[in-house]
Structure 1
Amino acid sequence: MVFPCLDEAAALPAVLAALPSGYRAIVVDNGSSDGSPQVARAHGAKVVHEPRPGYGAAVHAGVVASRSPIVCVLDADGSLDAGELSKLVEAVVSGRADLAVGRRVPAERGAWPWHARVGNAVLAALLRRKGLPVRDIGPIRVAHRDALLALNVRDRRFGYPLELLLRAGAANWRIAEFDVAYRPRTAGTRSKVSGSVKGTLRAVRDMAGVLR
């Protein structure tokens, strides 16, 4: 279970406590200054340090560090419930899917800012034009570890999820998308993407570069 992490100390205790039995947490610290690594260790997680900045860099480091045949990736900000992973894992373990991803469904008003939703919708529409059956570029996914590494996803910033989907599609992976409840981030944390229009534009820029 990989949690890319940048300054999520306020969210980590609840996020890690919600992890279902049998999952091993790997928190990939991407340069936090709020004590996130210490909080993660105190709550039983393995901590991996990734000095290269970027969401993709953190996710890749966590997947490499994992020793489980099935790897899950989930944001560490408290917006997603780790308890929802079971349906995604079952789809991959049963062989019904090579990649299971979450489609965020806002559970509360304000959980997903308008600018982030618009950017996500545009990118998802472009993916559907390429034959990929997704409506979200979501921060929750499950796949076989070795197969995921073999895709050789190169983006190390916000374009990572998009490149992963494009490469999975090109490899004829079966992709299954599941609705997952999306809630406001834990108080005291701030999104690096959806927390501002600037952050969203930066992420869209990275992903547009992948599409080109």
Structure 2
Amino acid sequence: MIRVVLADDEPMVRAGVKTILATDPGIEVVAEAGDGREAVELALSHRPDVVLLDIRMPRLDGLAAAEELGRVAPEVAVVILTTFDEDEYVAKALGSGASGFLLKAADPRELIIGVRAASDGAAYLSPRVAQRLVEDLRGGRLQRHEGARRRVEGLSAREREVLGLVGRGLSNQEIGARLFVAEGTVKAHMTAILNRLGVANRVQAAILAHDAGLTG
């Protein structure tokens, strides 16, 4: 029997997913959570084979919960079940160690397939997500995004905020007004940003901000 913990902040969604899983006699939902923190706690207490996580949940989102489960319960397979198929979510989910990425709008049979694959130690992506991933890899977009994201991780939270505003085309004066700091403080942040990122000028920094997804 494949034991599953199901986490979604919408009770009706949980009920629907549970109904679909119940069509397979080899799958049992042993616990339900309304947020990511509760999902982690239930996974630790029930030790299921698979945890199904929505992305946008209170207290702890699904991506953060997946990352934490990878640390505290690495033997538990994680599958993301979400409405959102943006490249950023897919990359973060796979980077956190998730074994699957499923879409709520997909064929219900994919849910069964994904849970069974994860339980068997395999990976499964909804075909629509897999196709986009292949296209992104061909175009190099996902590599650029992940490379840029790793580079900006070394910046402080304030520096990432400044870099994001640079990517949106704001001047030092406009950034200072937006963040309620002196223009000289913004210039100091920019000097540190350029040095830490190893870029030569503001234009290169702005491009990196876009690639890293800091511009909103």
TM-score (norm: length of structure 2): 0.31
Structure whose alpha-carbon radius of gyration is higher: 2
Higher normalized contact order (CA 8 Å, seq sep 6+, divided by chain length): 1
